[in-house]
Structure 1
Amino acid sequence: MCKSEEFEELRPLLFSIAYRMLGSVSDAEDAVQETWLRYDASSVRPVSVKAFLSTTVTRISIDVLRSARVRREAYVGPWLPEPLLDDPYEDPARAAELADSLSMAALLLLERLSPLERSVFVLREVFAFGFEDVAAAVGRSQAACRQLLVRARRHMHEGQPRFEANREERDELARRFFDAMAQGDMDGLQSLLAADVRLVGDGGGKAPQLARAVAGAENVARLLATVHPLMARTGITCMPRRINGQPGALFRDRDGNILHTFVLDVLDGKVHAVRSVINPDKLAHLGPVADAWAIDREVRQARRPSV
């Protein structure tokens, strides 16, 4: 098998590692491309191509993550990962586990970890790499990696999301949620929301966004039941989709361009979090992006009482 064939066979795994490390589709794709360039330029034939490429993409991701943390300190408003529709790495035997590790809730928890803790956790806990390969990837001893993993597990388990085991039940609740939102049914929405639910929006200062997170079932239900029918009047449509392994939806304008995404965290038959990404920079990989500012003006106009 030639180098390019070996690489393409492992590309899904490499992207999945990089995305969980970085929380960014564009950065993950760049890390994978840089991995290929280094592999293609290498004259050394590795004993294990998988180990070599996984080590390379991990080290590139660690460097990117360190610089990304500086950029995120200046980020406008809440930061959320870039939404991902499909994880290219398929392992039917571990599909549910991989989906949960891909969730926005899990990725936000990973943000609490140092770059080394994050890389050890992703390689060992998510992709089940042996400690020998983990140690080689991060340039630390196996003993040090075990300690890094202990700390990472402690941070992750303190806030580890516990999603509904039954995917069909989650999807059914999401269907009812989006139906109630489309109908402007505040009572219907409120009945589906946990008392402490939070709605968080990520506009990055490049699109209209909430001034702060909205908390509480009544407040979130009122906002969604009021705003979404107005958006529908401007031609916005809601397309339920699984996003980051969880129930969610894509919102498109009348021309089919992406306006924003919603992802729901569902536990015990209730929605505990609603996360919306509207920053156009984080949506471009999904297709043409809508003009959120123009739509915001239309919605504001639609809210004004007719004379």
Structure 2
Amino acid sequence: MTRTEEFEELRPLLFSIAYRILGSVSEAEDAVQESWLRWECSATRPACAKSFLSAVVTRVALDVLRSARVRREKYVGPWFPEPLLADPYQDPERSAELADSLSMAALLLLERLSPLERAVFVLREVFAFGFPEIASALDRSEVACRQLAVRARRHMDAGRPRFEADRREREELAERFFDAFREGDVDALREVLAADVHMIGDGGGKAPLWGEEGAFGIDMVARRVAVFAPLFTGVGGVVELHEVNGQPGAVLRARDGKILGTWALDILDGRIQAIRTVINPDKLQHMGPVADAWAILREAQRVRRSAEQPHDAQPARR
């Protein structure tokens, strides 16, 4: 097998490691590309390509993360990871760990860890690397890496959600939610929302949102969704059901098929606990052409005003 073939075989794994460390598709792809350059320039051929490249991509991702964290502190409004519609790396033996670690909720918890804790958790808990490999990748002792793993696991277990195990039940609940969304049916929405549900969005100050401060509680969230739905569908918007970061969700598209945003649902105990929307155009570009959300909002407002205007009464016939 050539070097190129070895690298391409491992590319899905490398991207998945980098994405979980960085929470960014574009930055993860850059980290993988940098790993390829270092792999290609290596004077000797490593005994284990997987260990070598996993270590390289982890180090590159950590360097990027340290500078990215400074930028995120200045981010306008809530910061969410760039939505990922499909994980390129699949491992049937670790499918549950891979899916849970990909969720928006889990990635936001990872943001609370130090960069080293985050890297150790991803390598150990998600991808099952041994501590000797992790120690080599991070240039730390095995004892230090084990301590980092304990701290990271404690932080993650304290706040990590436990999603419904039955994928089909989650999908059916998501279908009911988006059916109610399309119809603007408040009562149907209330049937699938948890009492303490919260809805919050990431626009980065670059797109209109229905309140970046978020909506909390079943009544407020149901009303907000029901208000947004007729405006969106009234201008030809389309809701395309799709997994978002391994959880039920949807891609919202404008009339011309361009992407307006993503909605990801956290489902627990047969109810939707959280709705996270991403509409920042910078975070959607990897998915295809992005719609002008401001233009769509202006069109929706014109349509609503037109619908609200009373029609002139017809003159009575003599």
Q: TM-score range by the shorter chain?
A: over 0.9
Equivalent positions of 1:31-50 (< 5 A) are 31-50=31-50
* 3-state DSSP of counterpart to 1:75: coil
Equivalent positions of 1:1-307 (< 5 A) are 1-209=1-209, 210-304=211-305, 305-307=308-310
Letter in 1 for 2:266: D
Q: Distance in 2 between matches of 1:98 and 1:250?
A: 21
Q: What number of residue pairs does the alignment pair up? A: 307
Letter in 1 for 2:162: R
* 3-state DSSP of counterpart to 1:195: strand
Q: Distance in 2 between matches of 1:35 and 1:41?
A: 10
Deviations, residues 114-168 of structure 1 (Å, cap 9, x unaligned): 0000000000000000000010111110000000011101110110110000000
Deviations, residues 193-212 of structure 1 (Å, cap 9, x unaligned): 11111101000011112231
TM-score (norm 1): 0.99
Q: Distance in 1 between matches of 2:41 and 2:94?
A: 34
TM-score (norm 2): 0.95
Deviations, residues 195-243 of structure 1 (Å, cap 9, x unaligned): 1111010000111122311100100000001111111010110000011
* 3-state DSSP of counterpart to 2:248: strand
Q: Distance in 1 between matches of 2:180 and 2:295?
A: 26
Letter in 1 for 2:85: L
Q: Distance in 1 between matches of 2:170 and 2:97?
A: 16
Q: Distance in 1 between matches of 2:140 and 2:309?
A: 67
Shift of 1:48: 1.0
- Structure 1 stretches of at least 4 aligned residues deviating more than 6 Å after TM superposition: none
Shift of 1:271: 0.2
State percent identity of aligned pairs: 66
Q: Distance in 1 between matches of 2:300 and 2:198?
A: 23
Structure 2: gaps (5+ residues): 311-318
Conserved? CA contact 2:10–2:50, under 8 Å? yes
Shift of 1:279: 0.3
Shift of 1:298: 1.5
Deviations, residues 165-212 of structure 1 (Å, cap 9, x unaligned): 000000000000000010010011012111111101000011112231
Q: Distance in 2 between matches of 1:143 and 1:190?
A: 50
Q: Distance in 2 between matches of 1:72 and 1:303?
A: 36
Q: Distance in 1 between matches of 2:85 and 2:79?
A: 18
Q: Distance in 2 between matches of 1:287 and 1:228?
A: 23
Q: Distance in 2 between matches of 1:176 and 1:93?
A: 31
Over the residues paired in the alignment, what is the CA RMSD in angstroms?
Answer: 0.8
Letter in 1 for 2:274: A
Q: Match for residue 313 of structure 2?
A: none
Q: Which moved more, 1:167-176 or 1:38-47?
A: 38-47
Letter in 2 for 1:286: M
Structure 1: gaps (5+ residues): none
* 3-state DSSP of counterpart to 1:265: strand
